[in-house]
Structure formats: C-alpha cells, structure tokens
C-alpha cells in the first residue's frame, strides 16, 4: 500500500520525537521514499544523523543549506509538490496552532502550506494542553481544511499525569495511513482468489514432474489487486518468491490435487478468481514409496490426467468473475477463445511463446485479453508488474460495466 509513495515527515519539538526513528524504519520497510524536515527544537530530541541514515535522505531544518558546494536553498515548494503524503509527528500544540492560522516562521510550516497532498498530523502533548479550548479549536480548523488527525493514545504522559495526549505508536500511524489509502479504492470490499506458480507431481520421494513457471505473474497480480483495495487469497505452488502485504493471504501448496482442494475451499466466498497457475496436466498414476533406483536403460511412467481446476470453477460459477490464462504456440487467438467458452470464463489472458520476452521465468510479458463477447485487446511488451496492473484494470472495467 505504501510501496513507492513519497512521504514527507515533519518532526516538531516534543519528547515523542524519539518515536519517529521507528516510524521512519516502518515506512522504509513498507517501500516508501521518506524525506524528513526537522524544526530547530526537534533536533534536541532526535538526531538528524540518525534520521538521515534511516531515511537514506538528507534531513533538512532551515531554508538555507551550507555545504562544501557553498550556500544553497532548501526549496519548500519543491518538497511540498514531491510528497504523495505528508505526516507531521509529533504535532505539538505550538505547531498545530501555526498550521491552523498559517503562521509561517520555519521550513516545515512553509512546506506544509505548499503541500498539495493529504496531510496527516499526530498530536503529542500533555493532558491539560490537549484538553485546552485553543488546542481543540486548532483540531477543528485543521480537520475543516481536509487534514487528517491520527488519534492520540491514552496513558502515562511525560509529566507523570495519566490521560489523553500520547502520540500514536508508529505501528498505529502506519496502519491509519494504510487504511486511508485503502478506502475508496476500486476493489475495496472485494475478495479475490489468485492461483500462481507451478505444481509438482511426485514420482517418488525425491523426483517430480513440474514446469518452469516462476509464479511471478500470479504474485504481481496479487499485489496489484491488493493495492486496488481487494482482500486477496493467493494460492501458490512451489516458488522462491516471497510476499508481505496486509491484504494478501498466502496459501502454499505443492500438487495439482492440493491446489484443487485449496481453491474450492475459498472459491464460494470470493468475487473474482484468477487462474494464473501453471497446473500440471498429468501426474504419475502411482507414486513410489521409496526412491526409484537407476537400473534399466529405459524407464516408463504411466501418467493420468489431473483435475482441471479452471473448468471446475467455471462449472460452479455463480456470482464470481472468472479469469483464466492461455499459453499458446499456434492458432493463439482461436485456441484461447475456445478455452474461454469451454471453461465458462469471463476473461482470458493469452500469452504466446512466439513473442520475445514472454513466457515462463521472464521479468516481462506480452498479453492479449479476450472477453466473453470475444472482444480482443492487445498490449505491448511490459514488465510483469505493469502487465498485472493492466489485467486488474481490465477486470475493474468489466465488473463496473
């Protein structure tokens, strides 16, 4: 949800400033780009060097920067326009008053007044200050401007009093922002089931029949769907890929039979299902209990068909929007269209092994999307992340028609 976001963090002079080191780490871990503005008093509570190291960006605190190259200007307008999100934490009573009434006496305030992005503020002050009518007025004004207030915590305060005024914990700040970003997304409230990767069909305890699928396409689809607001169940065969996302549940399987069982366990409750896995078409009829010894010059394995997962989903389909993939080498559109109709799909994504840069194990893909009306849309060669976004956007377009 925060991956690739440009986040400007303004830190003001309160004891809660020490928590911002943890906040920066969480934002960086989530994939955000972070820049920090310190007020003069904030640098008494937290080290600019620590924040610069954690954020991987220089920390600024004044309009004028003096360095080896001479005197330069920290451009507040440029920083305000750079940010996708701005967080002011801790937001002291003094800073909140300045924000509410436009008092522009430092770099942070000038940047705040220049920002075009959503601005979050996390108040931090003692109980009586928090309850004071002037502070409450500042809250009301800032909320009326469209700023977003991250609720304070309650507990022991720096003064020794107990009550409201504690700055929200870094984890709670990140969760609050993620929830804000999630609200109103096109797939908000939708459940999406995605299959990914290969399946391995055992021959004996150490050998198997498999394919070269890396799972990249399915994993990118899961991220694109989750970043569009969906709750995602990703059922993956064996792969080296890893994924951390608040809205993705990863279910690991090995064989086609295990994937079939897992898919049908979740299918009834989802709104969208995408079959991106390269499921084995055949499996050994019998599996040796012990490792098969290398004796004869020739060795034969009798194979039987696996269950067709996508076909079974098409047969059971009620309210679900069902998407399949077709990997073809000849008569691509004709064969993909037949698969679309046979398996009762709403969309099919065609890959051709004749296209350079497409197929298993690649970081790129080139697709053609065919819908149930046999309307065809062709896309250029792109990274799999961009291809996944194209597919998810096409699904959003179709379900909203």
Are residue 164 and residue 197 in the same domain, yes or no?
no
Can you tell me whether residue 295 is helix, strand or coil?
A: coil
Strands 376-378 and 382-383: unpaired
Q: How far is CA 79 from the centre of its chain?
A: 24
Domain boundary among 182, 213, 246: 182
Domain boundary among 118, 150, 182: 182
Strands 272-275 and 191-196: parallel
Q: What is the mean pLDDT of residues 326-344?
A: 91
- Whether 1 is in a domain gets the answer no
Q: pLDDT (tens digit, 9 = 90+) per residue, 86-111?
A: 999 999 999 999 999 999 999 999 99
Are residue 56 and residue 149 in the same domain, yes or no?
yes
Strand ranges in 132-230 using DSSP code E only, listed in sequence order: 148-149, 153-156, 162-166, 191-196, 201-202, 208-209
Task: Please count the CA atoms within 13 angstroms of the CA of 43 that sit on its side-chain side.
Answer: 12
Are residue 253 and residue 132 in the same domain, yes or no?
no
Are residue 177 and residue 233 in the same domain, yes or no?
no
Are residue 69 and residue 135 in the same domain, yes or no?
yes
In angstroms, the Cα distances linking 101 to 141, 145, 255 are: 8, 11, 63
Are residue 205 and residue 151 in the same domain, yes or no?
no
The overall average pLDDT reported for the chain is: 91
| Catalytic residue set | 211
Q: What is the mean pLDDT of residues 380-386?
A: 92
Question: pTM for the whole thing?
Answer: 0.78
Are residue 174 and residue 62 in the same domain, yes or no?
yes
Q: pLDDT (tens digit, 9 = 90+) per residue, 163-209?
A: 888 899 999 999 999 888 888 899 999 999 999 999 999 999 999 99
User: Could you list the residue range(s) of the whole structural domain that residue 354 is in?
Assistant: 191-399
pLDDT at residue 159, as a whole number: 75
pLDDT at residue 191, as a whole number: 97
Q: pLDDT (tens digit, 9 = 90+) per residue, 11-40?
A: 999 999 999 999 999 999 988 999 999 999
Are residue 177 and residue 208 in the same domain, yes or no?
no
Q: pLDDT (tens digit, 9 = 90+) per residue, 33-87?
A: 999 999 999 999 999 999 999 999 999 988 777 666 556 677 888 898 999 999 9
Domain boundary among 161, 182, 203: 182
CA dist., res. 92 & res. 95, Å (int): 5
Are residue 146 and residue 18 in the same domain, yes or no?
yes
Are residue 222 and residue 127 in the same domain, yes or no?
no
Label residue 312 by pLDDT band (50, 70, 90). very high
Q: What is the mean pLDDT of residues 241-247?
A: 86
Are residue 123 and residue 195 in the same domain, yes or no?
no
CA dist., res. 248 & res. 250, Å (int): 6
Are residue 50 and residue 141 in the same domain, yes or no?
yes
The number of distinct structural domains making up the chain is 2
CATH code for the domain in which residue 309 is found: 3.40.50.10300
Q: pLDDT (tens digit, 9 = 90+) per residue, 248-301?
A: 999 999 999 999 999 999 999 999 999 999 999 999 999 999 998 887 778 889
């Amino acid at each position: 949800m925060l991956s690739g976001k440009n986040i400007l963090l303004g830190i003001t002079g309160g004891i809660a400033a020490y928590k911002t080191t943890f906040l920066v780490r969480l934002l960086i871990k989530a994939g955000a780009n972070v820049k920090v503005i310190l007020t003069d008093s904030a640098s008494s509570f937290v080290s600019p060097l620590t924040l610069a190291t954690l954020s991987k960006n220089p920390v600024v605190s004044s309009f004028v920067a003096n360095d080896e190259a001479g005197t330069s200007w920290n451009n507040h307008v440029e920083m305000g326009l750079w940010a996708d999100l701005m967080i002011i934490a801790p937001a002291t009573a003094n800073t909140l008053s300045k924000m509410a009434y436009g008092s522009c006496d430092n770099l942070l305030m000038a940047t705040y007044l220049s920002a075009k992005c959503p601005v979050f503020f996390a108040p931090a002050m003692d109980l009586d200050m928090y309850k004071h009518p002037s502070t409450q007025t500042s809250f009301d004004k800032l909320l009326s401007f469209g700023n977003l207030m991250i609720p304070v915590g309650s507990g022991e305060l720096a003064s020794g009093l107990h009550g409201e005024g504690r700055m929200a914990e870094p984890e709670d700040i990140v969760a609050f922002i993620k929830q804000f970003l999630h609200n109103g997304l096109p797939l908000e409230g939708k459940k999406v089931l995605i299959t990914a990767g290969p399946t391995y069909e055992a021959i004996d305890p150490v050998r198997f029949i498999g394919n070269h699928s890396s799972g990249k396409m399915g994993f990118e689809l899961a991220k694109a769907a989750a970043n569009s607001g969906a709750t995602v169940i990703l059922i993956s065969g064996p792969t080296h890929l890893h994924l951390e996302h608040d809205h993705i549940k990863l279910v690991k399987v090995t064989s086609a039979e295990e994937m079939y069982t897992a898919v049908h366990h979740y299918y009834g409750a989802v709104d969208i299902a995408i079959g991106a896995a390269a499921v084995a078409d055949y499996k050994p009829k019998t599996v040796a209990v012990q490792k098969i010894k290398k004796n004869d010059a020739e060795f034969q394995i009798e194979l039987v068909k696996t269950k067709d997962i996508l076909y079974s989903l098409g047969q059971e389909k009620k309210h679900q929007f069902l998407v399949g993939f077709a990997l073809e080498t000849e008569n691509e559109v004709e064969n993909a269209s037949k698969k679309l109709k046979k398996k009762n799909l709403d969309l099919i994504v065609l890959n051709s092994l004749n296209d350079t840069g497409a197929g298993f194990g690649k970081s790129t893909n080139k697709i053609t999307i065919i819908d149930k009306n046999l309307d065809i849309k062709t896309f250029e060669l792109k990274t799999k992340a961009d291809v996944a976004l194209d597919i998810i956007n096409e699904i959003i377009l179709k379900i909203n028609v």
